[in-house]
A and B are shown apart, each in its own frame.
Chain A
């Protein structure tokens, strides 16, 4: 964390620009979708009030839409409409549909039959009855439906940030992944306030009597359109390239904040979830994305990493970390684990990840193939059951591969037996398992050790992240001192944050480093 605990208010002041943009986007998303939902829902409600046989089908269908989890509905939209506001608006529209259709239907069918009969008997046409009798009398119920839809939309619109549509979800989900409470609240409080304010304003409209309602019913579409247009205010300015960053990346010092402060990089940025980011870059919806330098998707989608020439991303070199008493218990362990050191560089690791993530080869097979190719593989020896080495790994592909390699090496080069405890939820769980003697070692990254485990001060981070060796030396020293845990020799690759672009585009624009990128963006 920073030198002193930042208050929520300070955070909001510091991020006022972003907060304003996100709030406007949020209001915009809510009301664009609401506007279209009214445009679709109101006539549908009127039709099923006229032809009641259809009502079951239509209401049933709208009800089913309502039960689809919002995040899944957004997911369905991506193949159809890509990322950005379009799929978000369609998804929100579908959510808002049910209350509007249902209340229009209930409102119209609930009108006193004598009033409708009187209207007909006096010689009003169907259209006149609709405009002069049915809609005005059903209006309070219809407005209640619109009110419900608005509140639903304000809530669901927070999820729009997952597919790069903006809104207050950027702060909320960025905050969750960064474990930054201020950031979560900076998104959640305005979102809640929006819901409360719009609910209150609509409750006032609902209470207007018929006469005033007549006049305000003309104003309502205008207000809706006005609020909808909020969405476009922030996007009015753009830049040559579009960047897509994960919410976590947006809020990190070794992420977008660092890009802005150290490189002065100003790029039109949208916030997007990690799951769709790579694909969006491949499909040319995004030009620059944040990612991990050894991610298999780099290879799958033809992306290249831009060189971090000013060193804002701390090094994340991987190395096994072992409890000291385990090293004593298994004298041959260190030598064996170090067999792998320096053998896997970034591109090799990317390729290995590509095989498991995209070619869906088993980590075991990938590990064995690698060891065989590098003439490191030996068949398993007869084991001595008393001495079991316990290997841990985190819950992603790369770690599974490494755990498998270590397991094969130990079995081939020593008499120890091996048990693996793979898929431990996260850094904290892995590390706690290690210190509590549940496992003997697991592969860790220097950056994670520095930031997540040691939680070094900003000053220290600045000092030791200048090059990979100083980071390694620092964590090695501190781990030994604080936890009696040893960092063995680095494996060779650096799984750090990185900016990446499509290889072709980067080549044609002659962009190799982040400084190149900035120069290109600044040029006219």
Chain B
């Protein structure tokens, strides 16, 4: 879907982005992860030509993006900013309608689509006629998302979209983000410096440093098969939690004892991550959890058994 080939960007003598290449598949969630100044935002902004690369080329759906007028290109790509960038002099409704106005939609179509998105994003339609500064940070960020989604662009670029939110609001929005069907259909490239966020939302992660991609792969790849010390160190602080989150029950399915006992609770899907399964013990007070694989295979396991399977899995990865 998106193909980035050997792009570089220099600002004077500084190489912000140094000949990087990557590809994003359709409906994939790619995270550009790294510390400030690693070139991740510059990379993102080159995708909709807010910044023009010094060299290299970018293809979207096989088409070189420089073949198109930048304005036309941008109208077809959703963009969400960290500080939401809502127009303070426009109402919520007007803010959401900016791109459709540019695309010259008729009024009915705009208002129908706006109402649809407001509902999906759990925003009351009362907010349509207020100004952004009357809303909370989380609400503003959702309006920013609605504005990017309104014309249903196939590609969505997100520059630290949840960076300005407090932890509680962020966790809530993460949950909604994962549940939103609109987003499941989209190819998303998201920039963040938050490792937790990257692991939670990303299908694949490109870890960047000093304008280069250090490693690119699934969260589990980065955790269990780091290519160098930088990657290992980068994830060190939150390693255990990340590992729990990165590991799906499916990964350790074979290491779990083949035992099943009927319970009243509905079983967890094997696609659930280990973290959620462990949380299950904490919140339900039950000593076992039931896991289902492909609806028909069921296993009932306790905390000890999950942890032991996890350790076995890690040891195996280490020896490969």
**Interchain CB contact (< 8 A) of B89 among A118, A121, A123, A210:** A210
Binds B, one of A82-90, A109-117, A165-173: A109-117
Residues in chain B within 8 A of chain A (CB atoms):
48, 50, 70-77, 79, 81-89, 98-99, 102, 147, 157
Chain B neighbourhood of A121, CB < 8 A? 48, 50, 74, 77, 79, 81, 85, 157
B85 adjacent to A123 (CB under 8 Å): no
**CB-nearest residue of chain B relative to A125?**
B71
Chain A neighbourhood of B99, CB < 8 A? 122-123
B88 adjacent to A123 (CB under 8 Å): no
**Interchain CB contact (< 8 A) of B50 among A117, A125, A136, A211:** A117
- Chain B nearest CB from A283 CB (Å) reads 53
A40 adjacent to chain B (CB < 8 Å): no
| Complex Cα gap A137–B133 (Å) | 14
- Chain A nearest CB from B277 CB (Å) reads 39
Closest 8 CB pairs between A and B? A118-B85, A123-B75, A210-B89, A123-B74, A121-B79, A114-B85, A114-B83, A123-B71
A133 adjacent to chain B (CB < 8 Å): yes
Main secondary structure on A side of the interface with B: helix
B84 adjacent to A122 (CB under 8 Å): no
23 A-B pairs with CB atoms under 8 Å apart are A112-B85, A114-B85, A115-B85, A118-B79, A118-B85, A120-B74, A121-B50, A121-B85, A121-B157, A122-B74, A122-B98, A122-B99, A122-B147, A123-B73, A123-B75, A123-B76, A123-B99, A123-B102, A124-B98, A128-B102, A133-B87, A137-B87, A210-B89
Over the window 464-495 of chain A, the binary record of Cβ atoms lying under 8 Å from chain B Cβ atoms (1 yes, 0 no) is 00000000000000000000000000000000
Chain A neighbourhood of B82, CB < 8 A? 114
Within 8 A of B (CB), among A193-231: 210-211
B50 adjacent to A120 (CB under 8 Å): yes
Chain A neighbourhood of B74, CB < 8 A? 120-123
Interface size on A, residues (CB 8 A): 18
Residues in chain A within 8 A of chain B (CB atoms):
112, 114-115, 117-125, 128, 133, 136-137, 210-211
- Chain A nearest CB from B90 CB (Å) reads 8
- Chain A nearest CB from B227 CB (Å) reads 33
Known: A123-B71, A123-B72, A123-B74. A118 touches B86 (CB 8 A): yes
| Complex Cα gap A125–B86 (Å) | 17
| Complex Cα gap A124–B89 (Å) | 16
Chain A neighbourhood of B147, CB < 8 A? 122
**Interchain CB contact (< 8 A) of B87 among A119, A120, A128, A211:** A119
- Chain A nearest CB from B29 CB (Å) reads 20
Chain B neighbourhood of A112, CB < 8 A? 83, 85, 88
A124 adjacent to B102 (CB under 8 Å): yes
Chain A neighbourhood of B70, CB < 8 A? 123
Most buried by B among A115, A125, A210: A115
Chain A neighbourhood of B71, CB < 8 A? 123-125
Chain A neighbourhood of B87, CB < 8 A? 115, 118-119, 133, 137
A114 adjacent to B75 (CB under 8 Å): no
With contacts A112-B85, A121-B81, A211-B89 known, what are 8 further pairs, Cβ within 8 A? A114-B81, A114-B84, A117-B50, A118-B84, A124-B98, A125-B71, A133-B87, A210-B89
Chain A neighbourhood of B84, CB < 8 A? 114, 118
| Complex Cα gap A120–B81 (Å) | 12
| Complex Cα gap A125–B75 (Å) | 11
Most buried by B among A117, A123, A124, A137: A123
- Chain A nearest CB from B233 CB (Å) reads 32
A117 adjacent to B102 (CB under 8 Å): no
B88 adjacent to A115 (CB under 8 Å): yes
| Complex Cα gap A304–B297 (Å) | 123
